[in-house]
Structure 1
Amino acid sequence: MPLDGVLHKAALKGDLGVIEEYLSQYPNDVNAKGAQQRTPLHRAVGGGSDKKSIVLLLLDYKADPNAPDINGLTPLHWAATLGNTDFGTILLDHGANPNVQTKNGDTALHFCAEKGNSTFIQLLLNHNADPTLRNNDTTNKRGHTPYDVARKFHNKECARLLKLPGTSRLRFLICY
């Protein structure tokens, strides 16, 4: 399994100078896979909100915003998990697909529904995220939609945003 290289480590640490110098010499390494099959963009997004200039630089060098890691998580999944709407906006504006599913079938909407991040949910819905996609959780034999996840974690505002026409409000009150 590959280890993180110089570019991954610099992205995680926030060392813009090292990244600029490295990419000026090796621009094709922008999507290099490191530990857990993560790219430098995964590392920058997962490293915290102070990495905005690094995220933008990597994307300027054509970093793939849809690159999956070993578990199928893209940088957008990481931004959703961390609740970083700034990174979410940047990634979506650079072509991130809001409907990519992880190996477990989760989309960025599933992560936001679990965390209770209604602002990020609205961002994803505004970028055509599909709230009907089901994950691979087989406790109900058919998987869960983001709406189901929001209900499970009692995130009512998220459930309201994700509610599809014809979904019974009474069911929400009875089930959870």
Structure 2
Amino acid sequence: MTELHQAAAAGNFDQVEEILKQNKCNPNQRDIDWSNKTPLHWAAAKGHTDTVRILIEHGARPCLRTEHGWTPAHYAAEFGQLAVLRVLHSFNAPLDKEDCCGDKPVRIADIYGHQDCVRFLKKVEAEREMAGKKEISADDTDEEWAEHGKENEENGISKLNYQM
């Protein structure tokens, strides 16, 4: 876990800002010890909206996924972080990506009983469909995760195997 991961998880905005200004850490660095989470995943899960905002403004990609396919939106949905979901939406982050089990953030929010998040995510999805766009973000694909999925398919590993 990098210094930036730790500061983002703790919600230490000033430290995150200082690290980013000094280019001390890559805002998209994946932590292999924590399922490939980026600092943005941590900030989203903990509900640190200002930290989410500054990370994205400094190049953090909200489409990056953990080893199980979770985006920052999945973590925000799991922990009922509606304000984070709103910030992610304001940056046109993908809010409807499926994880390796086929679950979107709206499903995760529903599982954990965060009905305010469910309503918001359904509203966003409906707005995007009405606009005729399934994906609004130009940066909505995690190439590394997609490549990992291709390798698993070629080796006969299905989505169901990830559930174990």
TM over 0.5: yes
The answer as to 2:32 corresponding to 1:37 is no
CA gap of 1:57–1:27, structure 2 versus 1, over 3 A, is farther
Higher relative contact order (CA 8 A, sep 6+): 2
Q: 1:71 — aligned with what?
A: 68
Q: 1:170 — aligned with what?
A: none
Q: 2:94 — aligned with what?
A: 97
| 1:4-47 alpha-carbon deviations (Å, 9 max, x no partner) | 1111011112222221121112177111111311110011112x
Alignment of 1:1-176 (within 5 A): 4-26=1-23, 29-34=26-31, 35-46=34-45, 48-49=46-47, 51-128=48-125
Query: Which of 1 and 2 has greater Rg?
Result: 1
Query: Are 1:65 and 1:95, in contact at CA under 8 Å, matched by a contact in 2?
Result: no
CA gap of 1:28–1:126, structure 2 versus 1, over 3 A, is farther
Once the two structures are TM-superposed, the CA of residue 58 in structure 1 deviates from its matched residue by 0.6
Q: 2:149 — aligned with what?
A: none
| 1:129-148 alpha-carbon deviations (Å, 9 max, x no partner) | 69xxxxx67xxxxxxxxxxx
The gaps in structure 2 that reach 5 residues or longer are: 129-158
Query: Are 1:44 and 1:55, in contact at CA under 8 Å, matched by a contact in 2?
Result: yes
Computed over aligned residues only, the root mean square deviation of the Cα atoms, in angstroms, reads 2.0
Query: Are 2:19 and 2:25, in contact at CA under 8 Å, matched by a contact in 1?
Result: no
Q: Give the AA of the match of 1:5.
A: T
Once the two structures are TM-superposed, the CA of residue 62 in structure 1 deviates from its matched residue by 2.4
Structure 1 runs of 4+ aligned residues shifted over 4 Å read: none
TM-score by length of structure 2 reads 0.70
CA gap of 1:101–1:21, structure 2 versus 1, over 3 A, is same
Query: Are 1:27 and 1:61, in contact at CA under 8 Å, matched by a contact in 2?
Result: no
Mapped partners of 1:98, 1:43: distance in 2: 16
Mapped partners of 1:57, 1:93: distance in 2: 13
Q: Give the AA of the match of 2:35.
A: Q
Once the two structures are TM-superposed, the CA of residue 116 in structure 1 deviates from its matched residue by 2.5
| 1:117-167 alpha-carbon deviations (Å, 9 max, x no partner) | 22211211221169xxxxx67xxxxxxxxxxxxxxxxxxxxxxxxxxxxxx
Q: Percent same amino acid among aligned pairs?
A: 26
Number of matched pairs? 127
